[in-house]
Amino acid sequence: MSEKTAKDVLEFIAREQVEVVDLRFMDFPGLWQHFSVPAHALDEETFEKGLGFDGSSIRGWQAINESDMLVKPVPDTAFVDPFTTHKTLVLICNICDPITGEDYTRDPRNIARKAEAYLRRSGVADAALFGPEAEFFIFDDVRCDQNEHEGYYHLDSIEGRWNTGRVENPNLGYKIRYKEGYFPCPPLDKLQDIRSEMMLTLEAIGVKTGKQHHEVATAGQGEIEIAFSPLVEMADKVLKYKYVLKNVAVRHGKTVTFMPKPLFGDNGSGMHTHVSLWKGGRNLFAGTGYAGLSDTALYAIGGLLKHAPALLAFTNPTTNSYKRLVPGFEAPVNLAYSQRNRSAACRIPMYSTSPKSKRVEFRCPDPSCNPYLAFSAMLMAILDGIENKIHPGDPLDKDIYDLPPEELSRVPKAPGSLREALANLEKDHAFLLRGDVFTEDVIETWISYKLKNEVSALELRPHPYEFVLYFDI
């Protein structure tokens, strides 16, 4: 369903005999939350006045003495849940304060809505189209624990190269070699049917897709393309994407993770994000400059590269993110741009010469991010680059592996840790505050939440590999 009113949704519920309405919203770090009501409990007033819930129980939100919040369903977002036993209609919601009626500043979807509104007010463009490529792993088994006296994880996959000698009664071989998962046919690729089911389920709920395929790593790494959409709509679709992939996997007795670097010694999962700006039906990034780009596109790249050290606090927001962003590999750690160099943070795809397809690919992000915040921060950096005509300098078209050390040292690098990215965000976030898109409260809460609950929490705990290195000292 799209461009629907509350009345349209209620008519659909009655016509299709929907039994349950599931109300969903995004918490601060980036996980979908929900509660359900019987379908008869929904009326037109619900869309106007909302339904109450306890905001103090949501990560990064209200204090216990200010806990009451409202969810307001958005009619355009309605889709039938393909996994529930009882026919369930899902509605994505905005979050509001019950006393003032204002949109909640820490609601990630509200931040994304404000970013789109700021874009239109700026006069630079009518729309920003995003196309993320969220990679993932499908595993057969995952076990992990961390307590006072032990810490470990164990992953397994029928495809995993480490299982070439396992007794499987029978072991039929066909285990994907490390870094050779792109694109072998079955029987090496054992997940074709599951990925197809994921792709077709996405299509069935209104998420238009492109190709699906195995990715580079062994042990079930994959990707399903999502067609370009405006910022808020695309962030909604990323959440639908994660929901569908996880639940299709569970249906088959498997599990999906969007963790950026679950395996040592093989490729991690990125979320290369394509973006273009449009005005009056024209792609503002198409031109006659380098790689077919306009000056507007080059300035957009300039903004992304200038603010990348701070941006990564939102686009790569986990400590695990920086296990993927490691120099010396294909990972996009070089804060430069190129039409082909995949180790550059910004790449200009050259698959098509059509002006409509001209776009910039920001290769740093990974799928652990909160897409509302990540896409909004990217857009604000792009607008800063355009409004201040920040030129990105010369492209990096050379083979990064052949660059002499002195020349390579002059290429700026992405932060090496989440702590470093958060420190950069603390220093450089004025561009995010324009138009009240992000607020000082949001920035401060994000930094303090991440430092306390993730960075410091990890630093306090012994790592299993430290026992390999140091136990016998």
Active site residues: 54, 133, 135, 215, 223, 272, 342, 361, 363
**C-alpha distance across the termini of the chain, in Å:** 63
Nearest to 88 by CA among 77, 96, 79, 97: 79
Q: 397-402 long-range contacts, Cβ below 8 Å, gap at least 24? A: 397/338, 397/339, 397/340, 397/341, 398/341, 399/341, 400/334, 400/341, 400/343, 400/344
HEC per residue, 343-388: CEEEECCCCCCCHHHCCEEECCCCCCCCHHHHHHHHHHHHHHHHHC
Phi, psi (deg, nearest 5) at residue 332: -80, 70
Phi, psi (deg, nearest 5) at residue 68: -70, 130
By DSSP bridging, strand 127-139 and strand 255-257 are: antiparallel
Contact yes or no for 333/414 (Cβ under 8 A): yes
Task: Round the CA-based radius of gyration of the chain to a whole number and report it.
Answer: 23
Instruction: Tell me the DSSP string of 123-169.
Output: TS-SEEEEEEEEEEEEESEEEEEE-SS-EEEEEE-TT-GGGTT---S
Rama region for 435: left / alpha / beta (φ>0; ψ in -120 to 50; rest): left
Nearest to 366 by CA among 454, 467, 267, 288: 267
d(CA 45, CA 378): 36
The three-point CA angle 203-207-209 to 5° equals 70
Nearest to 194 by CA among 267, 245, 260: 245
d(CA 414, CA 349): 21
H or E segment to which residue 433 belongs: helix 430-433
* Residue 250 in tokens: 């569970």
Q: Return the DSSP state at 222.
A: E
| DSSP-H helix ranges across 252-342 | 295-315, 321-324
